[in-house]
Homo-oligomer: A and B are copies of this chain.
Amino acid sequence: MISVAEALNIVMSNPYQTTVSAVPLLSAVGKTLAEDILADRDFPPFNRVAMDGLAFCFDEVDFQKIIIENIQFAGEAQKALQDSTKGIEVMTGASLPLGCDTVLRYEDINIQSIDDIKVASITIAKEEIKKGQNVHLQGSDRKADDVLLQKGIKISPAEIAVMATVGKSIVKVNNTPKIAIISTGDELVDIDTSPLPYQIRSSNAYMLAAALQQIGIDTSTFHLIDEEAVLYQKLQEIITSHDILLLSGGVSAGKKDYVPAILADLGLAKLFHKVAQKPGKPMWFGKTQEGKIVFALPGNPVSTFLCFCKYVLPTLKAGIKSEEVILDKDIVFKPDLSYFVPVKTYFEAGKMMATPFEGSGSADFANLTDCDGFVELPADKQVFKTGEVFGFVGFRR
């Protein structure tokens, strides 16, 4: 049985085969960028006024009073100072007038009109004024042709803003995969149904569809009965029209756990079956010759969700950061397995603390609604003490 680290490594080494599309800018948020984005010109593209106030030439003016000869609004062509001892009123976002190098804020001057001539007196000490202040110099943030964003990053609103500025109304992104969610288990009925005493309503397929929807991936959902012929035929059909299959259930030691054998019959290469972890030990992972990916997850809801968050999400979503938490309660766990425990996190003096909710095991998913992630307790220890640091798999973003 392989370790959690080995399993994750195998999953990450076998990504689904993505294609690239050019999409409108706003459709790119949350997706993975498929091209480098360059600065089309300097950032800022001109010497930009950073405060509303008065622009002048620091070395030329009389700091007692400055006659105002003009006004420069944002969005106007750059004006020029005619008399180097005078000043020009300027607005934030405007081009700094030619001949000026420094800007004083309106808060730091008084403007009076004397015989129709506007004159500014300065209300702060000269020593407080620095040559060049309140000017955002052309190219000081980025130079034209600098790489602003690299292919492969996840696109958040900040990257959308940068791409807007360089005029990328259409941007190349990795297409999201076509994913089929397939639940098995004859005890499951649909949510619209009143279950008989020994039945339960399906929940995994909704949970997975919701989690994928949150990262902008639409899914198709199927429920298959536990009959070998049906499973074989349906899986064969479904796999032709999807890039990734997410199965839940049917991978354990039960008499009707046909999934691993049928995936083998369908010609898939098994990359692993069983991981040294609790919950989720029976997880199966493999791929077709064409590179389609199948995750067959155990059917207990907590197992399904843990395996999804730990293994499936990182393959779909670039830039997931590794996080750590500090246990606020001792846990003892003897089996030679990595132990993932639902936790509720909170901050205490800059530390991310985690309160474990062991609950009643991998079917106790009502428990998850009190939690925001799993702490990952390694297989090679048995006692996990308050104050020790462990990995964290978050599920509320």
Contacts and interface: CB of A to CB of B under 8 A. Distances in A.
Oligomer copy total: 2
A20 B109 CA distance: 52
A187 B157 contact: no
Interface string A153-172: 11011111111111111000
B141 A366 contact: yes
Interface in A307-325: 319, 321-325
A73 to B, nearest CB: 6
Interface string A44-73: 111010101100000000000000000101
A73 B256 contact: yes
A77 B157 contact: no
Interface residues of A, number: 120
Given A142-B366, A149-B369, A169-B191, A164 B201 contact: yes
A157 B207 contact: yes
B95 A198 contact: yes
Instruction: Pick from A89, A157, A163 the residue with the most CB of B within 10 Å.
Output: A157
Given A45-B197, A93-B187, A253-B107, A136 B209 contact: no
Given A29-B214, A95-B198, A350-B351, 10 more contacts: A26-B206, A29-B213, A76-B186, A76-B198, A93-B185, A140-B360, A141-B360, A141-B363, A161-B203, A164-B205
